Structure formats: structure tokens, C-alpha cells
Structure 1
Amino acid sequence: MRIALIAHDKKKDDMIDFAKRYKDVLIEHELYATGTTGKLISEFVGLSVSRFLSGPLGGDQQIGARLAQGEMDLIIFLRDPLTSQPHEPDVTALIRLCDVHCIPLATNLGTAEVLMKALKSR
């Protein structure tokens, strides 16, 4: 599967911990991420990640474009619901695209873990 990993600034540590816990599952898939998130996952977890721009610079839109072209299968987007984001319209557009194209989307650790457990049991 082609999995995109995205995390707002205050959720990056959570994403690194998540990727460490599920490294055995993630390593079996093609991973993509927005810029900083992908860099951190590569450095701290040791997974190979194809990186796009950072979210505020268009990375969310790049992932959305790939999704719309049928080139993404699952999105894990750890959002910070308590902080206003300057690129919120891009975030909303990505969520909308997931709904339009029936792409599984986790926006919190609980849902992300359920998806990883499902992938692990395949």
C-alpha cells in the first residue's frame, strides 16, 4: 500500500513514536510524507520515506493530487485540533478528497492504530 504520513508541529513527536511502534508494519509499504514529518521519520525511525514539501508550502496539496490520481491508499494525518493552522484550507481539501475517493484517513492516534492493526493482521 501507498501510505502518506502527515503531522502538525505539535503532533510530530506522536508521529515518531507511532512510526517506531509500527515500524514492522510500515516497512512493508511505500511511505510518503510531508517534508519535515518525512525527515523526522527517516532520521529517528530509519524508514525510507518519499518526501513532499512541508504542509504549509503545499505538501498537503501534493499528497491530495496523488490521492486524486489513485496513487495513495491510506492517509495518517495527526492533526492538532487546538491550534489554528495557516494552511487549514489545504487540510480541509485533503480530508474532502479522502471522502470523495474513499481513502481511509486517520486524524488521531486511536484511528491510526486501528488501521495499523488491520494491516498487521493481513
Structure 2
Amino acid sequence: MIRTLKKVFIAFLVLWGALLSSALAQVAQFITSHDDARDQVVAHYIESQPALDARVIHQTVQDCMAPPAIKREEEGVPLPSSIKPNPYPCLQQKGHPELARRLLLSDEAMQSVSWPLSLFW
């Protein structure tokens, strides 16, 4: 009886480990695909705006995507925040509302995830 319980428990752990590792691999793939889609949107926006300098657009996107710096009380040194930035209002304020709209549409299209990641997401 105890031997059977051990086998069942080990089988459960193996299956749980496989499910978890699969979900973690999907998280990594989702993040990579999300970043690639954003890069593609920015590239198409630059192609559609020949009058604008590509370097300026890239710098604006980097500024709006970077997490805000938070100063630690004891040191006074700005550190990157773990807060996820919202680039859409930033891009609109910096004069790129069309890019903000395109990025929003791209991000909304990437919201569905497949199984088993959908169990955790």
C-alpha cells in the first residue's frame, strides 16, 4: 500500500513538473513573441513616416517603455522600478498617437495564450 502511494506521488510530481516546465517555456515564448510584435509595429510605423527621424522614434519608444526610476530613501540613487510602464499615454504625449494606437492593437492581439499556460495566466 505504501509502495503504491509512493509511486502515485512520484508520478504526480513528474506530471506536475512537466506541466510547470511547459508553462514556463510558454511564458518565455510569449514574452519573446510580444517583444517581436512590438518591434515589428515600430518598424512599420517608421517605414510609414519617412519625414520623421528613425533614431528619434526609437529613442522615444525606449523612453516610454523603460520602467520609471524610483529613488531609495536611504541612498537617493534612482533604481529601475518593477512597475510595468504604460507606453501608450507617453507616446501620445510625445507626439506619436498613431504609434500608440498600433502598439495597443498589437498588445491586445497577444492576450490569448494556449494550454497549459492558460491555466496559470
Q: Same fold judged by TM-score > 0.5?
A: no
Higher strand share: 1
Question: TM-score normalized by structure 2?
Answer: 0.29
Based on CA coordinates, which of the two structures has the bigger radius of gyration? 2
Which is richer in helix? 2
TM-score (norm 1): 0.29
